[in-house]
Amino acid sequence: MATVYVSIGSNINREYHVTESLKALNSRFAPLHISNFYDCEPVGFEGDNFLNLVVGFECDLSIAELAKVLHQIELENDRKRETKEYASRTMDIDILLYGNEVGIIDGVELPRGEITEYAFVLRPLVDVAAQELHPTLDISFQHLWNNFDQLSQKTELIPFEVSFT
């Protein structure tokens, strides 16, 4: 079993799609370790704000199998694959960490480079894995956040609850 962390983001009917995605993940990988929820401005394009979070769980699937499951959850939430990298979306789920795996494995970059680039990824990752070490930098995610230019990208903590009953 590998400890996995995935980022989740939506800026189209975001509360609905985030809730549905969490329910799908919970039905497959419970228990989930869910970060706080953040309202984040889009990066690289103009659009509505995103609802972002990070979820951790134990997984016995291969990286390729996990990527396929996450892609299916995106499709079930009406994800349209745009040619533009930065665009509004109903659902985006990315594997951030898969144990301590490093490299491009089955087409998945591990650890995902966005961890150190974007507040909307790093801030919620700190909520669930503050003292975990970045697999290539060998420093904690809390340390990365403490040294991140937090004023450059807005991440606003917002109240949000999901019930799995």
Q: Are 77 and 90 in contact (CB under 8 A)?
A: yes
Q: Which CATH homologous superfamily contains domain 2-158?
A: 7,8-Dihydro-6-hydroxymethylpterin-pyrophosphokinase HPPK (3.30.70.560)
Separation in Å, CA 59 to CA 55, 56, 91, 98, 104: 12, 9, 21, 9, 19
Q: Are 80 and 92 in contact (CB under 8 A)?
A: no
- State the Cα torsion 129-60-103-4 to the nearest 10°: -20
Which pLDDT value is given to residue 44? 76
Which pLDDT value is given to residue 85? 64
Which pLDDT value is given to residue 88? 77
Q: Which residues of the chain have pLDDT under 70?
A: 78-87, 165
Which pLDDT value is given to residue 75? 84
Which pLDDT value is given to residue 10? 95
Which pLDDT value is given to residue 82? 62
Which pLDDT value is given to residue 151? 86
Which pLDDT value is given to residue 150? 87
pLDDT (tens digit per residue) in 70-95 = 999 998 886 666 655 666 788 999 99
Helix (H, G, I), strand (E, B) or coil at 40: strand
